Amino acid sequence: MPSLLSMNGQTAVVFSQNLLRWFDTFKRALPWRVAYTPYAVWISEVMLQQTQMERGVAYFDRWMRRFPDIASVALADEDEIMKAWEGLGYYSRARNLHAAARMIVREMGGVFPSDPDRIRALPGIGEYSAGAIASVAFNLPVPAVDANVERIFSRLCDIDTPLKNAQTRRFIRDKVMELMPEGKARLFNQALMELGALVCSKKPDCARCPIPEFCEARRIGVQNERPAPGKKTEYSTLDVVTGLLCKDGKIFIQKRPEFGVWAGLWEFPGGCMEPGETPEEALLREFREETELAVTITGKIGVVRHSYTTCRVTLHGFFCTAPALERGTEQGAASGMEAGARSGEGPIILHAASSGKWVTPAELRDCAFPAGSRKLLDLVEKAGWDNALPGQSSSGGLSG
């Protein structure tokens, strides 16, 4: 049985031939593989980080219709970018992509760089992304080692140390370069990633593998025990409340600061429940702390659950009004708050947001929200806004 641990030139040739033959037959038809334009490859690589392929393709197609080239991304405002990204999560990816597009237009004449070091210097581009873009878009002989490739080599070489180990990562990177056939970096790197996605996945399908004779873990029967487990992720749980503050057929939204979690996204006022609080008590407290408003709860929207990287969130949503707003009282408003939120409409003083505004239900569709808030809005839209906004229904809200 040939071994990648003590390989020779012939071993590398047979390995790459078998792998590339399989890739030519079984590769998925993905839109960025049509012409391998640098812009399309770049967007796909950024989008597919932490995103399943089917979902990523749908977002990619919508993105390319809206932003067909680098210049269109650079010219867009941040709200447009965030709205196009809404639902993909990890929003720093979108902000970095936006910044990189502007950098390319400003400093590189609008042409995506081909040099791996210059690619690596773009905002949001790490070692893997730089290698993937350089090899797939420009066919340059550089490795692109993602989680799929790491998993494959943990089995091929029976690596019994966690993949996060720096020495292990260097070993895999070097092995990829040893095996890469001259002039075929684009196909070879994609073939490895495709093999990890379709065959050598978390539960390996060894019967479909094009290179089983090279797998040391399969030879000794431990392929299901590789990769070696690392530290188990610990998840926290959060109970969160939020309120749709309604007035004259509009809803108040506020924009998160340009730093921290969900930076730059829109949201409804609210926050985490404190020990011993009911959701209703938490909502009243959060509105006082964030807006200095005393609100009245008019109905419950419902409860949605959402998972983030290391957190499980239960979100309680309510409709509410503010008597002070209905009276039209005017007190000082925080600087930076948008005119629609402050002009003659009441004493909203922002303490947890960069700006705020009143919008119609239709206008909410153009604003980018975190996934939990968007799920809450889906509940409202299913029931119909006519039943939701105070003054338009005798119930004053939705039961949930």
The HSE-up count of residue 360 (CA atoms within 13 Å, CB side) is 3
Of 87, 89, 32, nearest to 61 by C-alpha is: 32
- Of these residues, 45, 194, 286, 345, which one is catalytic? 45
In angstroms, the CA 323 to CA 277 distance is 23
Cis peptide preceding 227, ω within 30 of 0:
yes
Contacts of 214 (CB under 8 A, 6+ apart): 1, 2, 3, 4, 11, 15, 156
Strand partners, 237: 312
Residue 184 identity (one-letter amino acid): K
Q: Classify burial at 54, counting beta carbons within 10 Å of its beta carbon; exposed 0-12, middle 13-18, buried 19 or more.
A: exposed
| Cα(122)–Cα(70) distance, integer angstroms | 13
**292: annotated active-site residue:** no
**Which pair of structure tokens corresponds to residue 229?**
């487990």
Task: Say if residues 51 and 197 touch (Cβ distance below 8 Å).
Answer: no
Give buried/exposed letters for 226-239 (b at 16+ CB in 10 A, else e): bbeeeeeeeeeeee
Query: Which residues are known catalytic residues?
Result: 45
